[in-house]
């Protein structure tokens, strides 16, 4: 069978790896379509190289732009490719503009859509990602949801239960497999040991920070609140691989140099997945507004503090591994210090159970797709 995958950003690449590997190992035909939404080497190519992914069959090269422009360009090109290539199914992952574009176009061509990581809801319609994931779920046929909670979200919206498959999250596949590789590579490689990252990994009390959400980094007041908190967390070594969007707005607001000059702040460029997994695994705390990091933190048993007021990953909070601190300066400082100074509190958070499965999500998903195909379910009607 011919399986098309549409992806375009860092997290989609990482979370599609185990599915791509399953497709290739079974001899199915893979059609990989990269939208080009992320185009810097550090945001895209380095993951293809390091994770040994095949080069995309098509790179649409949409680049940056407004939501309408980006999504529109993606739709036009994805449609051309799908009409030419006739895949049996189109897979999209998560909640980016590629997911919206891919799901809309494929469903209108009567190509079944499989949404990986379906059913997540923040119920915050001001987030572009919430619109993308809801719209993609309207267009999908197969819903690969990570947890029972996401299955319930879809059932409430009227999605038939027979189309919903609880398969865990492919981020666990990526984490488990690559952390082992990352540790071995680090131990074996003398060059790595003299690198900047290796110096950082020797530090005590590391807090890994990432942020890139529009509601944090494009809003000066919120960004300043977060930065004020960081400024005061001097007992932690804050390692901040900085997303290009965040670097750009911090420079525009005149905040970048102020932060970079602090002794306990370590601003670095975005890391490859292997180095980033090592960094997370050596961290005491993960402070983030990323979706993927909330999942990876609980998978790696690291307490997470999330710089948001809601999350579409509520399981991480109810399990006890994640606390929503918003952009509230006092709450960020108080909670980070509590993790640093209160061992019982730290232990409780780090022992939270991972709700996202056992690392076999890619296999489960491709099994389901193949079975449906054998039954004659995935058929291009026109
Ligand atoms: C996108 C996704 C978001 C996801 C994130 C993962 C949408 C709506 N947003 O957000 O859900 O969590 O990716 O990281 O799909 N830029 C570069 N180089 C790049 C890419 C971006 O410099 O390779 C800069 C540009 O200035 C661009 C800005 O970052 O305007 C934002 O990029 P964009 O792709 O629009 O959104 P992200 O914030 O990356
Ligand atoms: N990540 C990485 N290098 C970095 C920062 C993040 O490899 O410097 C990985 C991280 O481990 C996770 C994914 O990128 O798997 C998350 O991407 P991002 O936060 O950009 O997107 P989101 O998950 O919020 O959609």
- 244 and 131: one domain? no
Range of the domain at 218: 188-350
CATH number at residue 240: 3.40.50.2000
Alpha-carbon distance 354 to 95, whole Å? Answer: 21
pLDDT in tens, 264-301: 999 999 999 999 999 999 999 999 999 999 999 999 99
- 264 and 225: one domain? yes
Mutating to test ligand 2, I would choose from 244, 280, 286, 292 the residue with most ligand atoms within 8 A of its C-beta, which is 292
- 251 and 199: one domain? yes
Closest CA to 103 of 116, 91, 118: 91
Average pLDDT of the residues in 218-228: 96
- 322 and 367: one domain? no
- 220 and 292: one domain? yes
Alpha-carbon distance 186 to 313, whole Å? Answer: 31
Alpha-carbon distance 299 to 182, whole Å? Answer: 16
- 194 and 96: one domain? no
Q: Whose CA is nearest to atom 17 of ligand 2?
A: 11
In a domain, 183, yes or no: no
- 84 and 157: one domain? yes
Does 362 score more than 70 pLDDT? yes
Mutating to test ligand 1, I would choose from 15, 34, 244 the residue with most ligand atoms within 8 A of its C-beta, which is 244
- 222 and 319: one domain? yes
- 194 and 290: one domain? yes
Count of domains forming the chain: 2
DSSP string computed for 336-355: HHHHHH-HHHHHHHHTPPP-
Known catalytic membership, residue 67: no
Q: Say yes or no: CB of residue 357 within 6 Å of ligand 2.
A: no
Does 382 score more than 50 pLDDT? no
CA 277 to the chain's CA centroid: 13
Percent of residues, the chain, with pLDDT higher than 90: 94
In a domain, 381, yes or no: no
In a domain, 179, yes or no: no
- 140 and 198: one domain? no
Q: Say yes or no: CB of residue 135 within 6 Å of ligand 1.
A: no
ipTM over 0.95: yes
- 192 and 282: one domain? yes
- For 122, residues 6+ apart whose C-beta sits below 8 A from its C-beta are 129, 130, 310, 311, 312
Ligand sitting nearest the alpha carbon of 36: 1
pLDDT in tens, 158-213: 999 999 999 999 999 999 999 999 999 888 876 666 688 889 999 999 999 999 99
In a domain, 11, yes or no: yes
- 155 and 193: one domain? no
Ligand sitting nearest the alpha carbon of 8: 1
In a domain, 84, yes or no: yes
In a domain, 382, yes or no: no
């Amino acid at each position: 069978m011919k399986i098309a995958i549409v992806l375009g950003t860092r997290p989609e690449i990482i979370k599609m790896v185990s599915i791509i590997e399953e497709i290739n190992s079974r001899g199915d035909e893979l059609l990989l379509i990269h939208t080009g939404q992320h185009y810097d080497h550090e945001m895209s190519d380095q993951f293809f190289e390091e994770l040994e992914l095949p080069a995309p069959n098509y790179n649409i090269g949409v680049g940056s732009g407004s939501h309408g422009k980006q999504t529109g360009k993606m739709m036009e090109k994805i449609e051309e490719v799908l009409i030419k290539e006739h895949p049996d199914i189109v897979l999209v992952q998560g909640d980016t503009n590629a997911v919206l574009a891919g799901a809309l176009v494929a469903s209108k061509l009567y190509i079944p859509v499989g949404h990986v990581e379906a059913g997540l809801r923040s119920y915050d319609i001001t987030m572009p990602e919430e619109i993308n994931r809801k719209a993609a779920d309207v267009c999908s046929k197969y819903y690969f949801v990570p947890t029972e909670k996401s299955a319930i979200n879809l059932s409430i919206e009227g999605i038939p239960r027979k189309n919903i498959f609880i398969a865990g999250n492919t981020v666990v596949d990526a984490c488990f497999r690559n952390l082992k590789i990352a540790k071995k590579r680090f131990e074996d490689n003398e060059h790595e040991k003299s690198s900047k990252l290796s110096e950082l990994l020797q530090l005590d009390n590391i807090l890994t920070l990432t942020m890139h959400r529009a509601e944090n980094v494009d809003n000066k007041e919120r960004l300043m609140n977060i930065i004020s908190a960081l400024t005061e967390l001097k007992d932690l070594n804050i390692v901040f691989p900085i997303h290009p969007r965040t670097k750009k707005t911090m420079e525009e607001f005149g905040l970048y140099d102020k932060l970079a000059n602090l002794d306990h702040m370590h601003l670095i460029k975005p890391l490859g997945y292997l180095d980033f997994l090592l960094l997370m695994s050596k961290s005491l705390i993960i402070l983030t507004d990323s979706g993927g990091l909330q999942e990876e933190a609980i998978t790696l048993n690291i307490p997470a503090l999330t710089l948001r007021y809601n999350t579409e990953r509520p399981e991480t909070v109810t399990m006890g591994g994640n606390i929503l601190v918003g952009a509230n300066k006092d709450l960020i400082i108080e909670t980070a210090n509590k993790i640093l100074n209160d061992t019982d509190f730290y232990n409780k958070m780090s022992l939270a159970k991972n709700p996202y499965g056992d690392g076999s999500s890619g296999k489960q998903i491709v099994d389901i797709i193949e079975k449906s195909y054998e039954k004659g379910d995935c058929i291009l009607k026109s």
